[in-house]
C-alpha cells in the first residue's frame, strides 16, 4: 500500500471519519483487491534483515507465550518461519522446554529469542543472571541463544546496572548469547532512551492498527540500526469472541499482520500459533501488501472493540483510583483469559498481584476510573468481571 494512503488510513481512524466503509480521502487507484493464497502455496514469502544484527528473519514469526504443541511449531518452521520468541516466565519455564523439543535438530536454521524479567523483587547479581540464562539454554537444549532480551521494562535505567551489564557481556563473550535488547510495554519512553543505549540491538514493542503512536520513534530506532519486532499486533485478539468475525471474517489476523508489516520499520511480528490452522492462516499473510479488503476488516474490528479493548501499556486511568488497583494489569490478564484462551496463565499472573490492590473494592465504588478512560471503557464493570473469572 502506498505510504500516503496508509497515513490517511490512520488519520481517518483517529479523527473518527472512518465508519464501516472507506474514507473519502482514500483514492481508489491506491487500493489493490485482496490477494488469495491457495493452501499449497502457503509459505513465508519475505525475509527482512533485523537491523545491524544482520539476522535474516521471516516477516511473520512465532511467539510461544501460551501452550502450543511442539509439532505445530515445527510445522511453522516447515512453512518458512525461522524466528521464534519465548521467555523464561512463559508457562512457568515450560515454553522454553517446548521450544527445545520443537526445534531439536534444526537449531542452526532458526533464530531464537528468550527473555528474562527483573522486577523490584529480583536479586540482580551477575552470577544470578548468568545462572538463569544457563538454565534457559539447558531447557531449550541449545548452547546459545541468538537474542537475549531484558523482559518488560518501562525505563532503561536497569540497563545501566553494573551487575546486569557485566553478566550479559560475559554471556556474549562466552558465545552464549549473540545479541541483546529489551521488550517493553512503554515504548514511547524506552525507544527514546534506546537511541543512546549500546546494549539495545533489538527491541520488541507493542504495535498494531489500534496502537501506533510510536511510529516516528520507530523510524529513528530503525535508522540507528536497531532491529524492531512487533507484538500484540491483534489489538486484543477479540475476533475469536465476536460473532460477526467467526467463520465469515476469518481474515482479521491476516489483515492485522499485513497492516503491521506495511510499515517498513518493522522487521518481523510475532504471533501466537496454537494450532496448525493458525500457522497456515498467519503464514498466508506473509509478503502480501495491505489492501482494501484488509482495510474494511480492520475498520469493522475497531468499530466493535474500540470501547472494549484496554490498550496494553496504557496507564491513563491509574491515578484516578484511590485504592491503587493496577487496572491495566488486571484487564490484561482478563484479556489473556477470555481472548487469548490462556486461562491457567492468566489466573497465575492474577494471583501474583498483592491482595491489597486487587479490585475487591470496585463493587462498592462509584467507578471514577471509568471517567478517566479516554477510550470509553466501562472500567469498573470490567474489573468486577475480571476478578470473578480470575479468582479461581
Using CB under 6 A, list all residues that contact ligand SF4. 310-311, 314, 316-317, 320-321, 323, 325, 327-328, 331, 359, 361-362, 365, 367-369, 373, 375, 377, 379-380, 383
Question: From the CB of 208, what's the least distance to ligand SF4, in Å?
Answer: 13
The C-alpha angle with vertex 192 and arms to 188 and 193, in degrees rounded to 5, equals 120
Q: Give backbone dihedrals phi and psi of 141, rounded to 5 degrees, phi first.
A: 55, 50
Any bridge partners for residue 58, and if so which? 47
Question: From the CB of 130, what's the least distance to ligand SF4, in Å?
Answer: 36
Spatial separation of the C-alpha atoms in residues 263 and 3, rounded to whole Å: 9
3-state SS, 211-243, equals ECCCHHHHHHHHHCCCEEEEECCCCCCHHHHCH
Which of these, 223, 302, 217, 209, lies nearest to 261 by C-alpha position? 209
Spatial separation of the C-alpha atoms in residues 137 and 116, rounded to whole Å: 12
Spatial separation of the C-alpha atoms in residues 222 and 22, rounded to whole Å: 31
- Which residue, 177 or 377, has its beta carbon nearer to ligand SF4? 377
- Which residue, 39 or 356, has its beta carbon nearer to ligand SF4? 356
- Which residue, 149 or 325, has its beta carbon nearer to ligand SF4? 325
- Which residue, 118 or 309, has its beta carbon nearer to ligand SF4? 309
Torsion of CA 150, 156, 157, 162, to 10 degrees: 40
Question: From the CB of 58, what's the least distance to ligand SF4, in Å?
Answer: 31
Torsion of CA 336, 340, 342, 348, to 10 degrees: -10
- Which residue, 148 or 373, has its beta carbon nearer to ligand SF4? 373
- Which residue, 353 or 365, has its beta carbon nearer to ligand SF4? 365
Q: Give backbone dihedrals phi and psi of 87, rounded to 5 degrees, phi first.
A: -160, 150
Spatial separation of the C-alpha atoms in residues 239 and 251, rounded to whole Å: 10
Question: From the CB of 236, what's the least distance to ligand SF4, in Å?
Answer: 10
Question: From the CB of 357, what's the least distance to ligand SF4, in Å?
Answer: 9
- Which residue, 113 or 382, has its beta carbon nearer to ligand SF4? 382
Question: From the CB of 310, what's the least distance to ligand SF4, in Å?
Answer: 3
Question: From the CB of 157, what's the least distance to ligand SF4, in Å?
Answer: 23
- Which residue, 130 or 318, has its beta carbon nearer to ligand SF4? 318
Q: Give backbone dihedrals phi and psi of 117, rounded to 5 degrees, phi first.
A: -95, 150
- Which residue, 203 or 325, has its beta carbon nearer to ligand SF4? 325
Strand stretches in the chain, DSSP E = 47-49, 56-58, 60-63, 83-85, 111-117, 145-151, 177-184, 202-206, 227-231, 268-272
Question: From the CB of 16, what's the least distance to ligand SF4, in Å?
Answer: 17
Q: Is 39 exposed, middle or buried (0-12, 13-18, 19+ CB in 10 A)?
A: exposed
Question: From the CB of 106, what's the least distance to ligand SF4, in Å?
Answer: 40
> What angle in degrees, to the nearest 10, is found between the helix axes of 292-305 and 3-15?
20
Amino acid at each position: 500500500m502506498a505510504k500516503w494512503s496508509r497515513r490517511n488510513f490512520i488519520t481517518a481512524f483517529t479523527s473518527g471519519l472512518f465508519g464501516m466503509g472507506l474514507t473519502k480521502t482514500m483514492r481508489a487507484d491506491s487500493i489493490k483487491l485482496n490477494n488469495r493464497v491457495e493452501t499449497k502455496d502457503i509459505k513465508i514469502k519475505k525475509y527482512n534483515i533485523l537491523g545491524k544484527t544482520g539476522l535474516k528473519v521471516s516477516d511473520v514469526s512465532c511467539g510461544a507465550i501460551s501452550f502450543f504443541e511442539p509439532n505445530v511449531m515445527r510445522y511453522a518452521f516447515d512453512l518458512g518461519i525461522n524466528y521464534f520468541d519465548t521467555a523464561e516466565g512463559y508457562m512457568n519455564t515450560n515454553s522454553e522446554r517446548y521450544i527445545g523439543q520443537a526445534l531439536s535438530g534444526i537449531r542452526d536454521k532458526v533464530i531464537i529469542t528468550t527473555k528474562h524479567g527483573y522486577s523490584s523483587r529480583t536479586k540482580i547479581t551477575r552470577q544470578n543472571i548468568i545462572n538463569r540464562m544457563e538454565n534457559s539454554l539447558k531447557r531449550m537444549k541449545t548452547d546459545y541463544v541468538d537474542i537475549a532480551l531484558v523482559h518488560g521494562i518501562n525505563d532503561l535505567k536497569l540497563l545501566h546496572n553494573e551487575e546486569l551489564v557485566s553478566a550479559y557481556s560475559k554471556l556474549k563473550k562466552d558465545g552464549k548469547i549473540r545479541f541483546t535488547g529489551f521488550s517493553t510495554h512503554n515504548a514511547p519512553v524506552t525507544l527514546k532512551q534506546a537511541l543512546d543505549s549500546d546494549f539495545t540491538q533489538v527491541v520488541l514493542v507493542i504495535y498494531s492498527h489500534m496502537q501506533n503512536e510510536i511510529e516516528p520513534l520507530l523510524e529513528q530506532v530503525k535508522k540507528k540500526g536497531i532491529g524492531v519486532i512487533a507484538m500484540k499486533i491483534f489489538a486484543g485478539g477479540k475476533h475469536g469472541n465476536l460473532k460477526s468475525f467467526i467463520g465469515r471474517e476469518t481474515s482479521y489476523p491476516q489483515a492485522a499482520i499485513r497492516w503491521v508489516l506495511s510499515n517498513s520499520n518493522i522487521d518481523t511480528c510475532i504471533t501466537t500459533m496454537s494450532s496448525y490452522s493458525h500457522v497456515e492462516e498467519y503464514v498466508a499473510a506473509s509478503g502480501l501488501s495491505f489492501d482494501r479488503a484488509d482495510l474494511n476488516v480492520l475498520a469493522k474490528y475497531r468499530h466493535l472493540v474500540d470501547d472494549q479493548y484496554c490498550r496494553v501499556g496504557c496507564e491513563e486511568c491509574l491515578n484516578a483510583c484511590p485504592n491503587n488497583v493496577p487496572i491495566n494489569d488486571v484487564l490484561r490478564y482478563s484479556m489473556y483469559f477470555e481472548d487469548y484462551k490462556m486461562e491457567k496463565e492468566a489466573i497465575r499472573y492474577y494471583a501474583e498481584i498483592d491482595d491489597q490492590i486487587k479490585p475487591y473494592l470496585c463493587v462498592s465504588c462509584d467507578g471514577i476510573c471509568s471517567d478517566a478512560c479516554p477510550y470509553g471503557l466501562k472500567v469498573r464493570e470490567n474489573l468486577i468481571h475480571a476478578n470473578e473469572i480470575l479468582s479461581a
